[in-house]
Structure 1
Amino acid sequence: MATAVKVDEDAKSRLEELQAEIRLQTGRNVTQQELLTRIIDGAYESRDEVINSFRESTVPLSESEKETMRRGRFRSGVDTDETDVDDVLYG
């Protein structure tokens, strides 16, 4: 059963901003009810933690995910440094 919660305009505006930020960063639309429930239940320490809690994947990777990534690595035999990467990315 849903119950209406009254908040002042400033709190409502901040809630809408967080809701929009979640949509932009995760691609998910969440209701204000979902958002408030997540904040209350989760006791999150930061805004980023609240936003990340709506992501479908978890970060950091699990140990099995890390191992899967390690198995896919190989050495090319070419040494690179930051400037090499910058040249490739930015020309």
Structure 2
Amino acid sequence: MTTAVKVEDDAKSRLEELQAEIRLRTGQRVTQQELLTRLIDDAYESRDDVIDSFRESTVPLSAEEREAMQAGRFSSGSETSEDDIDEILYG
């Protein structure tokens, strides 16, 4: 069963470019349906990356963001264990 999916002109153009590049590099013709199926399969395998791409903020932080975050950090001079943290947080 096939279903029509609307895509923006820019996306359609990039799909056609990728289709043409596959033919040039491999000598194989692939349909846009085959190409989209492969792209979806690959995205499904790395779905966390795809999902994260829709988040408003990205992780990891940029170098500037890391520097800004670390600028306010200081050492208290004492070691803190996971048990210490649990005790502080959960009593």
TM-score (norm 2): 0.49
